[in-house]
A and B are shown apart, each in its own frame.
Chain A
Amino acid sequence: MYLVDLRDIYFKYLGDEDYALKGVTLTARPGEFILLAGPSGCGKSTLLRVLNGLVPHFYEGEFKGEAYVAGLDVRSTPTYALAKHVGMVFQDPENQLFLSSVEREIAFSLENLGLSRNEIKKRVNEVLEIFGLEHIRHRAPYELSGGQQQKVALATVMALEPQILALDEPTANLDPLSALEVLTLVHGLVKKKGILAIVVEHRLEIALRFATRMLVMNKGHIVADGKPEAILPQVRHLIGYPPVVIAHLLLSRKGLAGDGIPLTPEDLAAKIIEVVKWRR
C-alpha cells in the first residue's frame, strides 16, 4: 500500500484566479527520500500542505480529486489527526518555536495529543537522545543557532512518531554546513526508521546526494519524476544545474570525466579518476 496516494488533485486558494495545483497525481512508499524542486510559486508548498490537510482544512478553496495519506482520507480528516502521521517542518524556525525551553517545545506537541505525563517524559527523552539535543534541553530555542533551532523543530514533529516527514525549505535560513547537517539527520531517519521524507529544497548541491527520487513541478503540474540523474537534463531550464554537474559537463566534453551525471563532488572525483586511470 502507498503511504501517500494523491489522485488528480486540483486546488485553488480562496480568492485566487488560477489553480495552484492542476491535476497532481503522486504515490510514494516508506523509505523514499523525495526531493521536490521547481521555481517559486509552482505549487510545491501547496502540495506539501495537502499531505497534512492544511489544504483544504486550514486554507480554504476549491479542492478536487482524491487524497489519501497513511490510509486516511485527507478531505475528511482534520489536520491535528493527520499531524500524528505527517510531521511538517517549515522554513523559518522562529515561527515554529514558542516556548521557553527545548524540552518543553518537544513536550508541547505531545501534550496536544493528550498523552499521559509519563509517556510524554519517555518520548521527550528518546527524541532528545536521537537528535543529540540533551545538552541544550533547558536552553531557550531563541538562544540557539539557526541549525540547532531547525533540529529542534524537526525533533518536535518527530516526537509524534510520524511515518511521513514533509519539509518545506527547511534549510532556507541556514548556512551551508548547518543545512547539510539537518538534511543528513533527515536522511538518517529515512534509513533507520523507514519513514518517507518529502523535502522541498532549492539547494540542489546539498540535497541531491540524499534523494532517492526527484520531483519537479512547474505551474501546478508535476513535470518530471524519477531518479535525479535521469531527470536533471530534462528540467535544466526550470531549476538549473548544480555546480558539480556543470563542472562534470565541462570536463566530460574534453574527455576528462566519465559518463553519467554526478550528484556530489565525491561522485565527480570518482568519474575523473575512472578516466585518468584508464588513460594510463
Chain B
Amino acid sequence: MTALGSVLDIFKYRRKETFLHSLDPRSKFLLLVVLSVASLALNDVFSLLLLLTIEIVLLAISKSLNEWIRSLRGLAMLLLMIFILNFLTLPSGRLFTSITMVLRFVCLTSAFSIFFLTTTADELANALEVSGVPREYSMMFTMSLRFVPSLAKDLQTVIDALRSRGLELEGGRIKERIKNYTHLLVPLIVYELRRSLMVAEALEARGFGAVKKVKPYVELRLRRRDYSIIFISLAGLFMLLWFILSGRYAMFTSAVRYLFPEF
C-alpha cells in the first residue's frame, strides 16, 4: 500500500509558487501532449535521455524533483520488470531496446507528473468548462479525483472492522480469499452509495444545476508566459516531426546502432 501510495504521489498536486504552477492549464496540457508524443515517437537511448533531461529541468523549475525521485523509487520494481521482460523476450539488440523501453516509461510518467504536480483538479475542470465541456461532466471529473483519498479511507475502515471481527483478508487459499473479498466489497459499495447520496444532497443545497451556463470565478487567461510555452511546445513538436518524417531520425538511430554494435 505504501509503495503504491508513493507512486501515486507523483501525480498529486502540491501548492507551490513557481513558473509552471502559475501557467494556464491549457498551455500546460499542450506541453504534456508534446512531451508524451515525443516519448512515444523516439526509440533510442540518446534522444530519450535528452528528453528526460528536459523533463528533469522542468521538474526542477516546478521545485518538484524530490517528489519525483521518491516516486521513482516506488516505481523501481516495475521498471526492473519492464527491463527484465524485454531483455528475456527480445530476439536481438536486447540491452539497447530494454533500456529504451524503461526510459520511455520514465519519460511518459514524468510528462504526466509535470502536469499533475502543478495543476489542481479544479483548474483542469475550469479549462474543460472553458473548452465547452458541460459543467456536469467537468464536475464529475473533479469529484472523481477529489474522492480518491476518501475512498481509500473508507476501504481502510472496512478492512479494520472486518479484522477486528477476526476475518483475515490476506493468506488462505484462492477460493477463501475471493470469498473474503466479497465481505470487503459489499459494505464498501453500500458505504460509497450512501456517501454519494450525501454529496448529491450537498450539491443540490448549494444550487448546483440552477443555470446551465456559469461564469467561472477564476478567469483563465493566457498570458505572455503561456504564449511562450505554447510557442516552444509547438516548435518542439514540429522539429520532432520534421526530424522523423525527413528520415534524419532513422539515419541517426542506424548510426547509433553502428557505433555501439555490442548493444
Chain A residues at the B interface, C-beta cutoff of 8 Å: 49, 52, 54, 58, 79-81, 83-84, 86-90, 92, 94-96, 98-100, 103-104, 107-117, 120-121, 124, 138, 140, 142, 156-157, 160
Closest to A53 in B: B204
Chain B residues at the A interface, C-beta cutoff of 8 Å: 13, 15, 120-123, 139, 142-143, 146, 149-150, 195, 198-202, 204-211, 213-219
Do B206 and A114 touch across chains, with their CB atoms under 8 A apart? no
> In the complex, A52 Cα to B202 Cα: how many Å?
11
> In the complex, A83 Cα to B207 Cα: how many Å?
6
Do A90 and B207 touch across chains, with their CB atoms under 8 A apart? no
Contacts of A80 in B (CB 8 A): 204, 207-210
Closest to B123 in A: A100
Do A108 and B206 touch across chains, with their CB atoms under 8 A apart? yes
25 pairs, CB–CB < 8 Å, chain A vs chain B: A49-B201, A54-B204, A58-B201, A81-B210, A84-B207, A86-B205, A88-B201, A88-B205, A90-B198, A95-B198, A96-B202, A100-B121, A100-B122, A100-B123, A104-B122, A104-B217, A107-B218, A112-B208, A113-B207, A113-B210, A114-B214, A116-B215, A117-B215, A138-B15, A157-B205
Do A113 and B211 touch across chains, with their CB atoms under 8 A apart? yes
Contacts of B207 in A (CB 8 A): 80, 83-84, 109, 112-113, 160
Do B120 and A100 touch across chains, with their CB atoms under 8 A apart? yes
Do A95 and B120 touch across chains, with their CB atoms under 8 A apart? no
Closest to A160 in B: B207
> In the complex, A79 Cα to B206 Cα: how many Å?
9
> In the complex, A79 Cα to B207 Cα: how many Å?
7
> In the complex, A92 Cα to B191 Cα: how many Å?
14
Least Cβ distance of B124 to chain A in Å? Answer: 10
Do A112 and B204 touch across chains, with their CB atoms under 8 A apart? no
Contact partner of B219 (CB less than 8 A), chosen from A103, A112, A113, A117, is A117
Least Cβ distance of A157 to chain B in Å? Answer: 7
- Nearest first, the 3 A-B pairs at minimum CB distance are A114-B211, A107-B217, A80-B210
List 12 other contacts, CB 8 Å, given A80-B209, A113-B211, A114-B211. Answer: A54-B204, A80-B210, A90-B201, A98-B199, A104-B122, A104-B217, A109-B207, A114-B213, A114-B215, A117-B217, A120-B215, A140-B15
Contacts of B200 in A (CB 8 A): 58
Contacts of A156 in B (CB 8 A): 206
Contacts of A110 in B (CB 8 A): 217
Contacts of B217 in A (CB 8 A): 103-104, 107-108, 110-111, 117, 120-121, 124
Least Cβ distance of B18 to chain A in Å? Answer: 15
> In the complex, A81 Cα to B201 Cα: how many Å?
14
Contacts of B121 in A (CB 8 A): 100
> In the complex, A113 Cα to B201 Cα: how many Å?
17
Contacts of B13 in A (CB 8 A): 100
Interface centre among B142, B202, B208, B211 (most CB of A within 10 A): B202
Closest to B194 in A: A95
Do A83 and B204 touch across chains, with their CB atoms under 8 A apart? yes
> In the complex, A116 Cα to B149 Cα: how many Å?
33
Contacts of A95 in B (CB 8 A): 195, 198-199, 202
With A94-B150, A95-B198 as contacts: A54 and B208 at CB distance below 8 Å? no
Contacts of A54 in B (CB 8 A): 201, 204-205
Do B205 and A83 touch across chains, with their CB atoms under 8 A apart? yes
Do A79 and B122 touch across chains, with their CB atoms under 8 A apart? no
> In the complex, A83 Cα to B208 Cα: how many Å?
9
Contacts of A157 in B (CB 8 A): 205-206
Contacts of B202 in A (CB 8 A): 90, 95-96
Contact partner of A112 (CB less than 8 A), chosen from B123, B214, B218, is B214
